[in-house]
Structure 1
């Protein structure tokens, strides 16, 4: 009798499983293929989705729209999605602070109440004074697609430059704030990429690319980067060209200055590792760039200077890096002194 009961129960379960509706197979949007083949050193390489590289074409935009619609329709059907959202919101909803830092007499720090898209930069006159908002990146745009890319204080802390980036792009724009009044200056620089502000004198050094052809802003090659010097209160088109080598369009130059603005360092790189280095004494108007490192096989970075000599950290001919002293009157590597 017991065996008969077990048999009936097992049969019932099997019937239910067999008749249970199978999950509906996903119907992915069709991705069109084209007949495109490249030949690399005698080896044919097919590239059937080459047409998707044109991100501004109507076909590509339609493809993206279909892919997004398909993905979102699937995500909306997840039954526990709201529970995940609710729990993550609870975990994220707490105030957080950055480490405070001092610029001149003022103290700055970032604060996020918990659910803000971007942390807000606060300032206070001293450790006991009340803080106020100095820069709120959440007000850059109504849809939250414009982010703060970096902040750069002038040597005397009178100005703070900041970079914005739109919709996750590498392209940057520079703006300048007066730290005394909070007033936004008229200066506005565009078509910057992978650049900071290196302050010295009445302005700062930066690197920028040529303005791309309309429609190619997101697909143009990173070539022909130039280093400029911008004086506050002037237009970008009037900026002084500091460095450009048309023979090496893919070399990436990057300017930097010592904290007191006396020395300009010009770094150049070919990729993610290795850089050459040249230095110019800005206190001498007639000085030229002095080449310190010519190749791209190592990384040498200037930390500061003392007694007209440069303090640098380098990994040249050393496995764990070392700190060295470089005399600009005799900059050959053989004359570097290990600190």
Structure 2
């Protein structure tokens, strides 16, 4: 029975390949709009570069027409319905999986992938050994029944009462920061747009008492030219219960255009480390926010510090490649946060 089904699947796939001529003949027209661009002294002409502007109304209309034509073509195959049904049944039998675990006192946060749901959901557990204690904080498949809304990332407050999470739609990864109460799953009214984007990602870290978050922010319309609105990432602070127009600048005006910022807080919330990548080149700078609410630069791009992690012993641990091609581990006390005070431990 299953062998016959696979034979049918292979025949259908072959039919898709061999009978693509009618699809091509009936495909919507794709206008050529030549654009010449010079790369390293070589001029390259691209007649379809206009299709890269995915928010343009003409590009959207072209994409919709292509999708409709393809959908009509695929739906015309008599075996498609049976194949879809069988694949859905097999997919639904896949065991759920958990990932991106984050612990807080007495509670464990985790992303859960549970086929046939389109998107992973955020849940809490009493412990990793007690799956029956699972509670859903947010299921984006309920929030958006089309399955096009995804959780980009989440950060619980230090006591676990609230959780901040970036949500994006339609695979855009253009994330808006939302806030939820852990125990009830109720959404707070606060939202902050454009905290996450594929050009640099996004991040957030709570303050010690859970009354607000430091978060990555991209420029707003009018703050920079349109070509730079998905670059020049900075860090701002948001106090819960206030509009994002009241958010305050924290650091980042001097960061590179292609800066990619990751935030991480200590377990007691007194310190926050900002790791600033200089694009994808592998160079990093690190900044420390202490109890005095002022940022201090710990490392520069030239220092060859590749990782920085806050320990539980009032110290910052650093992975250094300086004069150490295989790496070395440094320990830097937080009460004297200057790289010259770091001691090599491995």
Q: Same fold per TM (> 0.5)? A: yes
Is structure 2 residue 282 aligned with structure 1 residue 257?
A: no
Is structure 2 residue 308 aligned with structure 1 residue 301?
A: yes
**SS of the residue 2:158 aligns to:** coil
CA contact (8 A) 1:205 1:256 kept: no
Is structure 2 residue 331 aligned with structure 1 residue 325?
A: yes
Moved more, 79-88 or 148-157: 79-88
After superposition, the Cα gap between the structure-2 partners of 1:299 and 1:143, relative to the gap in structure 1 and judged at 3 Å, is same
- Tell me how far 1:325 sits from its aligned partner: 0.8
- Tell me how far 1:208 sits from its aligned partner: 1.0
Structure 1 gaps of 5+ residues are: 1-21
After superposition, the Cα gap between the structure-2 partners of 1:239 and 1:275, relative to the gap in structure 1 and judged at 3 Å, is farther
After superposition, the Cα gap between the structure-2 partners of 1:107 and 1:220, relative to the gap in structure 1 and judged at 3 Å, is same
- Tell me how far 1:192 sits from its aligned partner: 1.0
Is structure 2 residue 118 aligned with structure 1 residue 117?
A: yes
User: Counterparts of 1:217-232 in structure 2 under 5 Å?
Assistant: 222-232=230-240
Among 196, 199, 208, the alignment partner of 2:206 is 199
Aligned length: 313
Is structure 2 residue 248 aligned with structure 1 residue 240?
A: yes
CA contact (8 A) 2:311 2:317 kept: yes
Among 306, 309, 313, the alignment partner of 2:319 is 313
- Tell me how far 1:241 sits from its aligned partner: 0.8
Match of 2:66 in 1: 67
User: Counterparts of 1:14-163 in structure 2 under 5 Å?
Assistant: 25-26=21-22, 27=25, 28-40=27-39, 42-94=41-93, 95-98=95-98, 102-108=103-109, 114-123=115-124, 127=130, 131-163=134-166
After superposition, the Cα gap between the structure-2 partners of 1:55 and 1:163, relative to the gap in structure 1 and judged at 3 Å, is closer
Output one character per residue of 1:49-78: Cα deviation in whole Å (capped at 9) or x when no partner. 132233344432332233223322332233
Q: TM-score, normalised by structure 2?
A: 0.76
**Distance between the aligned counterparts of 2:302 and 2:40, measured in 1?**
29
**Distance between the aligned counterparts of 1:311 and 1:250, measured in 2?**
25
**SS of the residue 2:302 aligns to:** coil
Output one character per residue of 1:235-263: Cα deviation in whole Å (capped at 9) or x when no partner. 21212211132573333333332222222
CA contact (8 A) 1:148 1:165 kept: yes
Is structure 2 residue 208 aligned with structure 1 residue 208?
A: no
After superposition, the Cα gap between the structure-2 partners of 1:35 and 1:153, relative to the gap in structure 1 and judged at 3 Å, is closer
**Distance between the aligned counterparts of 1:322 and 1:231, measured in 2?**
39
**Distance between the aligned counterparts of 1:209 and 1:240, measured in 2?**
13
Which of 1 and 2 has greater Rg?
1
CA contact (8 A) 2:220 2:229 kept: no
- Tell me how far 1:145 sits from its aligned partner: 1.6
Q: TM-score, normalised by structure 1?
A: 0.78
- Tell me how far 1:316 sits from its aligned partner: 4.0
Moved more, 28-37 or 151-160: 28-37
**SS of the residue 1:295 aligns to:** helix
Output one character per residue of 1:187-211: Cα deviation in whole Å (capped at 9) or x when no partner. 2111111222211223221111123
Match of 1:179 in 2: 182
After superposition, the Cα gap between the structure-2 partners of 1:45 and 1:203, relative to the gap in structure 1 and judged at 3 Å, is same
